[in-house]
């Protein structure tokens, strides 16, 4: 009886093995393809990551090389020849070029370049806001005090990334309009803000003292 059981088990095992080999012959290509896809996908991701890193490094090196020129006009020309790898990189490049244009005495071109970046719908909001802020604070800005006030009030909305810097500009507009009390109130409000930076604290405090006001205890 035991020999019969052993024989049956051997036959059963052979049947299982035959079925397994049959399944492997029929569907084994799926497993091989899956492995190839996983390996290929990993290799492609690594290649893409390496290519992006190389582009970023090349972009940075080109910027540093352009900024090594002694004359602002030469720096502008060199920066203008650089191709940015991303829209964000292009926005940063425009801001650098605008700064060099201003140093070269071409403030109007700088303001125009910044305004164009500020209205570029392909850029993330933070880049547009930074470009807009820089454009609004250029002396060559064609906007009047009321228009600049509206723009800065939008930037000073709760949670906005440039909120406190916009508040500082609003205080300057109030000083320009002769509304000293409003400016002092706004400046003290800035000093009491939990997100205040050291540089902005120093500037706000100096303005309050220059206006003959008192710094309120926070």
Per residue in 148-197, pLDDT tens? Answer: 899 999 999 888 889 999 999 999 999 999 999 999 999 999 999 989 89
Task: Note the pTM of the prediction, 2 decimals.
Answer: 0.65
Token pair in block for residue 148: 């600049």
Amino acid 93: pLDDT? 86
Contacts of 63 (CB under 8 A, 6+ apart): 79, 82, 93, 96
Per-residue pLDDT reduced to its tens digit, 53-95: 777 788 888 888 888 888 888 888 998 888 888 888 888 888 8
Taking the C-alpha atoms of residue 122 and residue 5, their distance in angstroms, rounded to an integer, is: 76
pLDDT of residue 118 exceeding 50: yes
**pLDDT at residue 6 tops 70:** no
In this prediction, residue 1 carries a pLDDT of 47
């Amino acid at each position: 009886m035991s020999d019969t059981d052993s024989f049956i088990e051997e036959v059963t095992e052979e049947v299982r093995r035959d079925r397994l080999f049959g399944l492997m012959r029929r569907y084994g290509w799926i497993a091989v393809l899956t492995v190839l896809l996983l390996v290929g996908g990993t290799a492609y991701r690594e290649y893409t990551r390496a290519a992006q890193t190389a582009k970023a490094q090349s972009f940075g090196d080109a910027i540093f090389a352009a900024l090594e020129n002694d004359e602002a006009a030469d720096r502008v020309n060199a920066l203008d020849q650089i191709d940015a790898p991303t829209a964000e990189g292009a926005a940063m490049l425009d801001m650098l070029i605008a700064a060099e244009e201003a140093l070269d005495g071409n403030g109007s071109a700088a303001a125009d370049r910044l305004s164009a970046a500020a209205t570029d719908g392909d850029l993330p909001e933070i880049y547009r806001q930074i470009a807009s802020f820089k454009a609004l604070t250029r002396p060559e800005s064609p906007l009047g005090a009321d228009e600049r006030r509206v723009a800065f009030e939008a930037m000073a909305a709760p949670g906005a990334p440039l909120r406190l810097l916009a508040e500082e500009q609003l205080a300057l507009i109030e000083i320009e309009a002769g509304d000293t009390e409003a400016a002092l109130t706004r400046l003290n409000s800035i000093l009491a803000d939990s997100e205040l930076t050291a540089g902005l604290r120093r500037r706000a405090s100096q303005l309050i003292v220059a206006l003959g006001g008192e710094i309120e205890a926070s």
